[in-house]
């Protein structure tokens, strides 16, 4: 029986990268290979960046360095209907879309409700490939997260949980740069407060490649999953704004290494699902 929150359409392929991906690495390579199999151009979107034009130039050079030249980064200004129509038309003719890094809240805010967002979802529904790195990956779930970390002055930045593009489904939420930025505590806090969610912490230069509800890990690191559904016995998450440390018991936590798979519906390693050895 399929739980609520399952992926809206299983035909497309998602490549979720944890940031800082090398153009010659396996993480970005998984996206490039999948697009080449489908035979079509790539559309890049750098709206998450504080400087979208500079970011587009950098990514164009990175893709060109590995022989990918059939990629365009159309200009997109929020509220500009002409830009929106042009970007949507490019996406409709593409085999894949690449979402660069920056600020996931900015990315979702600027694209939500646009023709471009609808085109992105059409591409995924018809079997296209959607890749996001860093903020681009975090924006592909139904809910996206930001904040909840200590800033340079030692102050806790307020946690933000808001809408994303909803392509991944499975009540999943993605955190990126996971091991490098020591974000396990942040992901714990989110899942303890919302135990129905499945937390996915993706390391840098690492991708979770999701097809038919199963994600395969490729690249240099791993993917940590945190599941609080039916497991949390105690938590003090409502009191954290008073300066207290997070206290909870308990969560299911696992790490998925390179070439292993995670069944997102069952929230367990695919190797255990196939053996029938998984939580009831």
pLDDT tens, position by position, 204-261: 999 999 999 999 999 999 999 999 888 776 767 776 654 457 777 678 999 999 999 9
Is 5 domain-assigned? no
Q: Check whether 9 has a pLDDT greater than 50.
A: no
Q: Average pLDDT over the chain, rounded to whole? A: 90
| Angle, helix 115-125 to helix 104-111, in steps of 10 degrees | 100
Residue 253, Cβ neighbours under 10 Å: how many? 17
Residue 6 lies in a domain: no
Section 162-187 average pLDDT: 95
Q: Which residue has the higher pLDDT, 120 or 151?
A: 120
Q: Is the pLDDT of residue 280 over 80?
A: no
Domain harbouring 26, CATH code: 3.40.50.880
Per the structure block, which two tokens stand in for 29?
């390579």
Query: Is 22 a member of any domain?
Result: yes
CB atoms within 10 A of CB 221: 21
pTM of the model: 0.91
E-only strand ranges, 81-186: 96-99, 129-133, 143-146, 160-163, 172-175
- The whole domain housing 61 covers 13-275
Check whether 1 has a pLDDT greater than 50. no
- For residue 85, being part of any structural domain is answered with yes
- From the DSSP assignment, how many helices (H) and strands (E) are in the chain? 8, 17
Is residue 217 in a domain? Answer: yes
Measure Cα distances from 261 to 23, 216, 254 in Å: 23, 4, 12
Q: Is residue 233 part of a domain?
A: yes
Radius of gyration of the chain (CA): 18
Q: Does residue 250 fall inside a structural domain? A: yes
- For residue 11, the model assigns a pLDDT of 75
pLDDT band at 276 (very low <50, low <70, confident <90, very high): confident
Facing residues of 195 across strands?
none
Q: Which residue carries 């996971």 as its tokens?
A: 178
The values of phi and psi at residue 17, to 5°, are -110, 140
Q: What pLDDT is attached to residue 152?
A: 64
DSSP letter string, 165-204: --SS-TTEEEE-STTTTT-HHHHHHHHHHSTTSEEEEE-T
Strand partners, 252: 227
The pLDDT tens digits for 79-90 are 999 999 999 999
Kindly give, in sequence order, each residue whose CB lies less than 8 Å from that of residue 262, ignoring residues fewer than 6 positions away.
Answer: 208, 214, 215, 217, 223, 225, 254, 256, 268, 269, 270
Structural domains counted in the chain: 1
Label residue 242 left, alpha or beta by phi (over 0 means left) and psi (-120 to 50 means alpha). Answer: alpha
- What integer is the mean pLDDT of 129-144? 98
Distance CA 227, CA 235 (A): 14
Contact between residue 251 and residue 223 where contact means Cβ atoms under 8 Å apart: no
Portion of the chain with pLDDT greater than 70, in percent: 88
- Does residue 31 surpass a pLDDT of 60? yes
Q: Between β-strands 129-133 and 13-17, what pairing exists: parallel, antiparallel or unpaired?
A: parallel
Domain contains 4: no
Q: Residue 14 pLDDT > 80, yes or no?
A: yes
């Amino acid at each position: 029986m399929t739980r609520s929150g399952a992926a809206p359409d299983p035909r497309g392929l998602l490549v979720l990268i944890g940031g800082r991906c090398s153009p010659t690495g396996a993480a970005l390579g998984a996206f490039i290979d999948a697009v080449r199999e489908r035979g079509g151009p790539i559309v890049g979107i750098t709206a998450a960046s504080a400087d979208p034009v500079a970011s587009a130039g950098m990514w164009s050079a990175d893709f060109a360095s590995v022989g990918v030249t059939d990629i365009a980064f159309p200009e997109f200004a929020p509220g500009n209907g002409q830009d929106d129509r042009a970007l949507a038309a490019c996406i409709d003719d593409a085999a894949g879309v690449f979402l660069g890094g920056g600020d996931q809240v900015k990315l979702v805010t600027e694209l939500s409700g646009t023709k471009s967002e609808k085109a992105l979802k059409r591409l995924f529904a018809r079997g296209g490939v959607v890749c996001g790195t860093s903020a681009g990956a975090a924006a592909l779930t139904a809910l996206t997260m930001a904040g909840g970390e200590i800033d340079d002055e030692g102050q806790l930045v307020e946690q933000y949980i808001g809408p994303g593009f909803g392509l991944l489904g499975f009540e999943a939420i993605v955190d990126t740069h996971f091991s490098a930025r020591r974000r396990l505590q942040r992901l714990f806090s989110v899942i303890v407060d919302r135990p129905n969610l499945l937390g996915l912490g993706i390391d840098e230069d690492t991708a979770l490649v999701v097809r038919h509800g199963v994600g395969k890990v490729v690249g240099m690191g791993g993917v940590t999953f945190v599941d609080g559904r039916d497991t949390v016995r105690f938590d003090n998450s409502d009191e954290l704004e008073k300066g207290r440390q997070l206290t909870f018991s308990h969560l299911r936590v696992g790490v998925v290494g390179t070439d292993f798979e995670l069944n997102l519906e069952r929230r367990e390693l695919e190797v255990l699902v196939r053996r029938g050895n998984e939580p009831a």
